[in-house]
Amino acid sequence: DTGVSQDPRHKITKRGQNVTFRCDPISEHNRLYWYRQTLGQGPEFLTYFQNEAQLEKSRLLSDRFSAERPKGSFSTLEIQRTEQGDSAMYLCASSPQGVETQYFGPGTRLLVL
Amino acid sequence: QKEVEQNSGPLSVPEGAIASLNCTYSDRGSQSFFWYRQYSGKSPELIMSIYSNGDKEDGRFTAQLNKASQYVSLLIRDSQPSDSATYLCAVNMGSGGSNYKLTFGKGTLLTVNP
């Protein structure tokens, strides 16, 4: 059990650019979650997958955000036309079938200049 | 709007003391509650989960749940400087069997002074 991994760990980009983050969940965890955390706040739910199906999206996830989990294993989160307000820590978590406890990866810290 | 409220702190306690962290939540139907610890610049790390009214102990940590009062707390006994971190309360407010998203409070910053 190697834990949830995320790549990259840090990303600096210019406003208007597209960025993509990857999350590899704990092996055999069929549920995968994306959260966003800004300074001084708790993580905020963005979206959730059960296997390859995206079951829920937060209204925080504007049209510029898209997430995929094509084979039910790793997931990607893409942000198009980044804005300075997108600067945050993007956290991925996973959990196994029937278990509510979520285990977080190290996060990807995004800075939009 | 479903909410989780925590005192932001900072809460400062001397080494060896008991630290008490509190959390209230708005959704009376919530069933699952979690405490995470987050060191500065790091991701949340699970400390405890609690599902039933009463106390649950794990080492120096005790979680307490009172669903009637919509209140959950975390006690840290024999606090150590290494316990200095932000403690996040998280609640599963999902209404369906397949909804496991967590709603987090803003966290309480705990400082343990040597």
Digit-coded pLDDT (tens) for A37-91 = 999 999 999 999 999 999 888 888 889 999 999 988 999 999 999 999 999 999 9
Q: Is the pLDDT of residue A28 over 80?
A: yes
pLDDT for the residue numbered B96: 55
Q: Which residue in the set B98, B99, B106 is minimally distant from A42, CB to CB? A: B106
With contact defined as beta carbons under 8 Å apart, do A112 and A87 qualify?
Answer: yes
Round to whole Å and give the CA distance between A93 and B57.
Answer: 25
Contact between B46 and A31 using a beta-carbon 8 Å cutoff = no
With contact defined as beta carbons under 8 Å apart, do B93 and A50 qualify?
Answer: no
Distance from CA of B106 to the nearest CA of A (A): 4
Q: How many CB atoms lie within 10 A of CB B112?
A: 20
Q: For the ranges A20-34, A61-75, B97-111, which has the lowest average pLDDT?
A: B97-111
User: Taking all residues of chain B, what is their mean pLDDT, rounded to a whole number?
Assistant: 93
Contact between A104 and B44 using a beta-carbon 8 Å cutoff = yes
What's the whole-number mean pLDDT along residues B82-91? 97
Q: Which residue in the set B43, B92, B105 is minimally distant from A42, CB to CB? A: B105
Q: Which residue in the set A33, A44, A101 is minimally distant from B34, CB to CB? A: A101
The length of chain A, given as a count of residues: 113
Distance from CA of B3 to the nearest CA of A (A): 11
Round to whole Å and give the CA distance between B49 and B32.
Answer: 7
Residue entry with tokens 């989990």: A69
Q: Please, which pLDDT band fits residue B95 given cuts at 50, 70 and 90?
A: low
In chain B, residues with a C-beta closer than 8 Å to the C-beta of A104 are 36, 43-46
Residue entry with tokens 């925590």: B6
